[in-house]
Structure 1
Amino acid sequence: MREAYQSDLQHVIDDLVDMAEMAGTALKDATTALLEGDLALAERVIAADPHLDERQSELDAKVVELLARQSPVATDLRLLVAALRMSSSLERMGDLGAHIALIARRAHPALAVPDSHREQIARMAELAGAALVEAAQVIAERDLALGAQVEKEDEELDELMLQISREMSGESGLTNSQVVDMTLLIRFYERLGDHAVSLVRRVGFLVTGDSLDTLSASVDVQDI
């Protein structure tokens, strides 16, 4: 019985890592669709998003069942409580990927990202993707040292968002549609970094039992 319980707990971790991989694929494909104007790829990202929603529902149901059936304590309890919040963050990260794909679809056949900001958006996507991959590794291996790298990437995402915002305020060649799309895009990529930070800090809570800084928006992201 104990071995089956431990297997169930490991499956929870495995499911979180799988969800992170799904969100990472959505982010990568959505960014390609955005920068290359690939409508078919954008459509695939949008169509795949409900599958991640389903995975969250299935994982949450599994966690609730384990809480009710096993009455876990200590580290096991922290794992299950953290898993509920982490699955929510991962589902929202998938939503953000879908939102990026929606912008790519809406702008088609034009590109939503003007040439003047193409490299910056590509860099934001690179940072968000790296943070997500590293967050998945932190979840799988409980490697808290790697969490510092995720925080660093999130800080660079914040800086890029502010930099692009400042530059756009002084540009006269952008259409209203481009300004709206770019404002949304930089916010989406920045929030992906916030969610990655939330994931690694929840692993920190799982390992150490230390309370989260609930005053920090990057620890407990409530919106997408």
Structure 2
Amino acid sequence: MDHGNHSEQLDRLAGLLATVSRDVAGTIRRASVCLLDIEPDGARAVLAEVAERVVIHRRIDELVPLALVRQQPVASDLRLVLSALRMNTELHRMDVLAAHIAKLVLARHPAPVVPPPVRPLIGAMAETTARIADKAALVLVTRDRLDAIQLGLDDDELDVQYERLFTVLTDAWPYGVQAAIDVAMLGRYYERFADHAVAVARRVAYLVGGDMARGVL
């Protein structure tokens, strides 16, 4: 196989992953705005974004075997192509979670999903999650191992917010069972979204150092 074509395929694969990661970060921000501002049109737009990106996720999956077709690939190339499928899966799951938030907005409209007392906490979780997603997208471009490790610390902040949310839900919650379930699910969506973003960063650490930085991320 021509080395120039192979290099071009690797560059395209890395570029697609970085672009998708950046776009997914934007989608979770827009989903959160729709959630807190009760914007059904925006929620439908989020669902459309996610649906359109399915084609890109599929294209990444198709590029991986093409990038592997090379005699005597170097170790860094192998790490990239073997990590690409996993990162693409994590990014797709992030898309699905953003879609869940948008669907919840539409299911409860015109009523708000989030009762007033927990709006600040859900807003803080949304912001922390978006920040983690932004950093994961940046790490995919810079491949900075230290930045990848930093995401684990950001995720700890979200875990604390998640625990605080459940404290609120179990402390004389006056809004009924359905609202409690909705808020609990929202917390879970943000927590899982951030976990997937951190997993992407762990893969970047693997690309750079050849290991998954176990115990650090």
TM-score of the superposed pair, with normalisation by structure 2: 0.93
CA apart distance, 1:71: 5.8
- CA deviations 1:39-71 (Å, max 9, x no partner) are 000011112212222211100111112213556
Report what 1:107 is aligned to. 108
> Once the two structures are superposed, what CA deviation does each residue of 1:141-175 show, in whole Å capped at 9, x if it has no partner?
11111123311221111111111111111133112
Q: Residue 150 of structure 2 aligns with which residue? A: 149
| Offset, 1:8 | 1.5
| Aligned partner letter, 1:125 | A
Q: How does 1:183-194 map to 2 (within 5 A)?
A: 183-194=184-195
Query: Secondary structure of the residue that 1:170 maps to in structure 2?
Result: coil
SS at match of 1:109: coil
The answer to whether the 8 A contact 1:153-1:193 is kept is: no
Contact in 1 for aligned 2:202/2:212 (Cα 8 Å):
no
CA distance in 2, matches of 1:25, 1:197: 16
Q: Which residues of structure 2 form unaligned runs of 5+?
A: none
Dislocated runs of 4+, deviation >3 Å:
68-71
- Distance, in Å, in 2 between the alignment partners of 1:101 and 1:143 is 32
Letter in 2 for 1:49: V
The 3 A distance-change label for structure 1 pair 79 and 171 is same
Residue identity matched to 1:210 = D
- Whichever residue aligns with residue 46 of structure 2, its letter is V
Count the aligned residue pairs.
Answer: 216
**Alignment partners' CA distance in 2, 1:47 and 1:105:** 13
Q: 1:118 to 1:70 in 2, by over 3 A?
A: farther
Percent identical: 32
Q: Is the CA contact (8 Å cut-off) linking 2:18 and 2:141 kept in structure 1?
A: yes
1:61 alignment counterpart: 62
Please report how far the alpha carbon of residue 72 of structure 1 lies from its aligned counterpart in structure 2 after TM superposition.
2.7
SS at match of 1:111: coil
1:157-208 deviation digits (Å, cap 9, x = unpaired): 1111111111111133112221111011000001111111101111111111
Under a length normalisation based on structure 1, what TM-score does the superposition of the two structures give?
0.91
Aligned to 1:126: 127
Partners of 2:24 and 2:90 lie apart in 1 by: 10
| Superposition deviation, residue 211 in structure 1 | 4.5
Q: Which residue of 2 aligns with 1:90?
A: 91
RMSD: 1.7
C-alpha separation in 2, matches of 1:150 and 1:174: 34
